[in-house]
Amino acid sequence: MTDDSGRNLDKMEELKQRRERILQMGGTKAIEERRKKGQMSARERVEHFFDPGTFTEIGMHIRHRTTAFGMDRREVPAEGVITGFGKVDGRNVVVAAEDFTAMAGTFGEYHGKKFVRAVDFAKENGWPFVSMNDSGGARLQEGMDTLESYGWLFRSQILASGIIPQIALLMGPCLGGQAYHPVMQDFLIQTRHTGFMGIAGPAFVKTQTGEEISLEDLSGYKAHAVKSGQTHIVAEDDADCLDRCRELLSFLPSNNRDKAPRISTDDDPERQEDLMSLMPQHPHQPFDMYDVISRIVDNGRFFETMGLHARNIITGFGRFSGRTVGVVATQPKWMGGCIDIDAADKGARFVRFCDLFGIPLITLHDSPGYLIGSQQDWGGILRHGAKLLFAWADATVPLIGVILRKSYAGAHYGMLDKAIGADFVYAWPTARITIVGAETAASVIFAREIREAGQPEEVRAQRIQEDSDTYENPYCAAERGYVDDVIDPADTRKTINRALDALEGKTVARPWRKYSNINL
């Protein structure tokens, strides 16, 4: 009995030592170096993210099996990635947090297997998945085993897409093959000074192409939040990144069968706001759509996504009477609210996400149409613009459109109308709903008359005014049932809330198919 007791104590001591060694990650010095750069360690990030005392780690003792290049003597604590689950605001969430202090958080075979296990576990349980990306890239010492692991992860993420929300936090370097899996998730939050992502780093780019470029210019937040549109949210530092992720999760359901949390609010759902005062007298003079959004959502709180990219269209989450909604709005202050290639891509992907997770959608529309010109045509504006049409027509969630001013040409459908699938469409008295603006229409319809007139400019002005009086108003559309009501702008919040109440139990039955063949 004494011998058995002693052996058991030895086993417990061995467990304690193993756990302590793994929990030290890359060691005190490596962790301190991270802190000097303003970064938390991987375990500090996990601790900050989850509700206190709720995190349970999975796979702490996993170890690589590689022997080549001295790897048989190399211990990588937790294989460079911490995986597990815990609660965020009382709801279960699964995490994979890469540890840069452990062999630079490099992605090898078992690092990848831990990631895959975490994604699969999240999908099976119907819990959101969050990755905290901070890695030196592929672990080249493991050769083909590393390459194959990426494929396992990509497939797991894709099969989980549309079932659970997936959020990537870009908190350190993420280059090469490592950069694919964050952009394949639903949302990507990048830290302003320490998050870097790219298909290759500056040294490799110079070797292969001769181009000299800094890491910041090639892979920093401006490259992806502004130019490429691959980053949805820019955070100031690690703590802000984690807090923004928690806030984003608060708008989302845990999976595609749950509803998004509905919170209590003291903001009167029938509250009126003076919105007409925001509208300029001239119909082509810009105004700031953010002012409209902030005045109609609960407590003025709007969580924007991709705010620095394709700024002619606004996407993000707000609440109406405590329920989550997705907001898609054109921005007259940017390119006049025209929809270009990037705006179409941005809007369509957001619409599809909301539809996948049962989140109602509201549009606020003031747009003269899709952007025209050779660069847009050659870049595929027709193909990209059609993505919005696919997204709206496919959507089965409550769809509510509000037309504030211009609703012309393809943008009429691209920003949600009755024909493409809206449940309700409302217009302000300032709305101009027609196929093209009066100036364009008159120049085509009355081209010969204007050309042959003794005073062409007077005739032109007369015909423009005639066309505008006839068609540039909300009442032609309302008379035909294309607009459900012309409302006082002050009643916009009330009208949306009542429509959402009416659509609470919306169900749609359609013929079986796998999915629509959207133009990519």
Active site residues: 176-177, 410-411
For 88, other C-beta atoms within 10 Å of its C-beta total 20
Task: For residue 157, give the 3-state DSSP assignment.
Answer: helix
Q: Give the Cα separation of 359 and 353 in Å (integer).
A: 8
CA quadruple 92, 189, 103, 64: dihedral positive or negative? positive
Which amino acid makes up residue 388? L
What does DSSP assign to residue 390?
A: H
Q: Give the Cα separation of 74 and 64 in Å (integer).
A: 9
Given a contact cutoff of 8 angstroms between Cβ atoms, the answer to whether 230 and 184 are in contact is no
Residues 493, 494, 499, CA angle at the centre, nearest 5°? 100
Query: In the chain, what is the straight-line distance between the N-terminal and C-terminal CA atoms, in Å?
Result: 70
Tokens representing 75?
Answer: 């211990």
Cβ-proximal residues to 265 (8 Å cutoff; 6+ apart), any chain: 298, 299, 319, 321, 322
Residues 150, 216, 146, CA angle at the centre, nearest 5°? 15
Given a contact cutoff of 8 angstroms between Cβ atoms, the answer to whether 63 and 121 are in contact is no
Q: Give the Cα separation of 168 and 77 in Å (integer).
A: 22
